[in-house]
Structure 1
């Protein structure tokens, strides 16, 4: 298999990459060359920063994502968006700084302790490597199913997207988050959904979705839902470890990280152990299947893999990273306002030949009309 080209991983001179995600460099995935219309050449023209070479033409009915020379001012305005911190949307065992302060006293909701063994994901190799000064420093295991595309949008596009999001109301959500949903109303427990009120993805996402299709990993990706989440350190925003539904949502989960770098923490509650091998200097390319002969093992339940996410990067989760490893954003990794836009595609049940293919086609047509408002 041809080795993917990309910059080296985190500078290991920094004691703990978890505390400095902003200095991490990531693999660049080159898009396929657009030829006009729906035609695409199979050969991909690789550039050092593919997203920057793409222009954002205004769609017929979509607000234009403006390029310009006021990137810094626009980005600062987006980060400093005003908000009211008097209420929260927490329910059950979920809490945020607001409701914790209101309750006072000794918190009965103690947050789960950090996993015993920390590993860092290196995007340019596909390996998870033991953190420095840990019991497993120098040991590693392949971690498939994670793709990071750095600088997917420009600073001006980022600021304009957040500005357009902030024009619509944000709803309070669990664990100190706020959200905006563009998708059908779904009852995952009963496996039912309602299309009433769903008018599609927002108009400003038209170009984002088109650009996704320029990358091989996403060339046939057609999202039917977009969920915007707003994280704020003053609210103690976080999201607990979870697996996304697989009845309605398909193989790929795609998320655009805006305004601030953060860390995606991945964990697995499966029994058994992960087999490790020594990670030589420079780290070899991870094999497509399997791993070299193991030399050590660690219980799955004690492992957490940190995937540093830079600002303006696009994350794609597939395979084991999508279906076996839970993902989370810990409170300690939110140091400034962060906005994410997560896009989801339909499962096979709603695709061609699936049991609910007609409903799936209806959802796709609505979604890709790009006339949506938050539901």
Structure 2
């Protein structure tokens, strides 16, 4: 199969590789991906190669099957879907669970964030300051990152210029740390917070991926803001499982859900505007000076 052609980017578009958005979807590059006329990485490749030098982080939703299974976040069991994603146990009443498919270490906690707290966080992100400001990202998203900058290809960590975390994030970070500590029986040192904005207007999505395993640890937390959404998990066999995330919910990926499944959000599951927060810790195997690690943790416990 041919390689993907390099196309001039549309204004406000940062897409490259397998990623596309509403601005570039008609390009030759994007159409080649959509119609699978180019060589595309499979989910099995992402999972098997995640620790190697040639690691790739994601595969395209265009080569992932439709989601036939759903995980109920209330009972943490997986069922064949007949009428859409499961929003509660009532939606699969009388249905036999599939005991051969498991997503280990996934927790979904509804109503973790109040509407008032959500409003405060969104206002902080939308009001430019010296610590924040939306920047265009890939697949029609915008982003704001707080914490050290990681160069994933070179496996280097840039800690210069870290001033601490925004004061506006202190309350939610403390709540997340406390919850994750209690549910996993281990302290949760958040060193990076990433905010992503998705909009239907820009055909935003995020392809199935595994968060980098070189720098980030076993526990990856997330907050779902502004609207309900559906997160899709994909295993090495290409099986896709949908999980309903209510507005204001916190979710935690750990163990199997972190390493054995890719996770992403299809563009059709962004209805209006969604904002997510992701909270990450350092990997226990991070091969950099321990003094640097401790210094970063100390700085990210400072709020400015």
Shorter-chain TM-score bucket reads 0.7 to 0.9
Separation of aligned partners in 2, 1:190 and 1:90: 21
Unaligned runs of 5+ in 1: 1-84, 270-299
Aligned equivalent of 1:112: 62
Alignment of 1:77-116 (within 5 A): 87-101=12-26, 103=27, 107-110=31-34, 112-116=62-66
Shift of the 266–106 alpha-carbon distance from structure 1 to 2, 3 Å rule, reads closer
- Does 1:306 find its partner at 2:272? no
- State the SS of the aligned residue for 2:201: helix
Aligned equivalent of 2:221: 254
Q: Deviations over 1:86-110 (max 9, x none)?
A: 6222123311011225x48992231
For the pair shown, the structure with the greater C-alpha radius of gyration is: 1
Shift of the 359–113 alpha-carbon distance from structure 1 to 2, 3 Å rule, reads same
- Does 1:338 find its partner at 2:304? no
Equivalent pairs counted in the alignment come to 250
Where in structure 1 do 4 or more consecutive aligned residues deviate above 3 Å?
103-106
Superposition TM-score, scaled by structure 2 size: 0.76
Cα offset for 1:239? Answer: 0.6
Shift of the 355–163 alpha-carbon distance from structure 1 to 2, 3 Å rule, reads closer
- Does 1:370 find its partner at 2:303? yes
Alignment of 1:215-226 (within 5 A): 215=179, 216-217=182-183, 220-226=187-193
Alignment of 1:167-182 (within 5 A): 167-168=127-128, 169-182=133-146
Alignment of 1:54-69 (within 5 A): none
Separation of aligned partners in 1, 2:30 and 2:281: 43
Superposition TM-score, scaled by structure 1 size: 0.62
Q: Deviations over 1:253-309 (max 9, x none)?
A: 00111001111100012xxxxxxxxxxxxxxxxxxxxxxxxxxxxxx32x1111110
Separation of aligned partners in 2, 1:114 and 1:340: 23
Shift of the 188–86 alpha-carbon distance from structure 1 to 2, 3 Å rule, reads closer
- State the SS of the aligned residue for 2:293: helix
- State the SS of the aligned residue for 2:32: coil
Q: Deviations over 1:106-160 (max 9, x none)?
A: 92231615515521112232211111279xx734133221111111111011011
Aligned equivalent of 1:164: 124
Alignment of 1:1-375 (within 5 A): 87-101=12-26, 103=27, 107-110=31-34, 112-116=62-66, 118-132=68-82, 138-141=96-99, 142-168=102-128, 169-215=133-179, 216-217=182-183, 220-269=187-236, 300-301=237-238, 303-350=239-286, 356-371=289-304
- State the SS of the aligned residue for 1:207: helix
Aligned equivalent of 2:41: none
Separation of aligned partners in 1, 2:177 and 2:142: 28
Given that residues 126 and 144 in structure 1 are in contact (C-alpha distance below 8 angstroms), is that contact kept between their aligned partners in structure 2? no
Given that residues 141 and 197 in structure 2 are in contact (C-alpha distance below 8 angstroms), is that contact kept between their aligned partners in structure 1? yes
- State the SS of the aligned residue for 1:204: helix
* CA RMSD after TM alignment: 2.3
Aligned equivalent of 1:46: none
Given that residues 229 and 341 in structure 1 are in contact (C-alpha distance below 8 angstroms), is that contact kept between their aligned partners in structure 2? yes
- State the SS of the aligned residue for 1:159: helix
Given that residues 69 and 81 in structure 2 are in contact (C-alpha distance below 8 angstroms), is that contact kept between their aligned partners in structure 1? yes
Shift of the 105–247 alpha-carbon distance from structure 1 to 2, 3 Å rule, reads closer
- State the SS of the aligned residue for 1:140: coil
Given that residues 259 and 339 in structure 1 are in contact (C-alpha distance below 8 angstroms), is that contact kept between their aligned partners in structure 2? yes
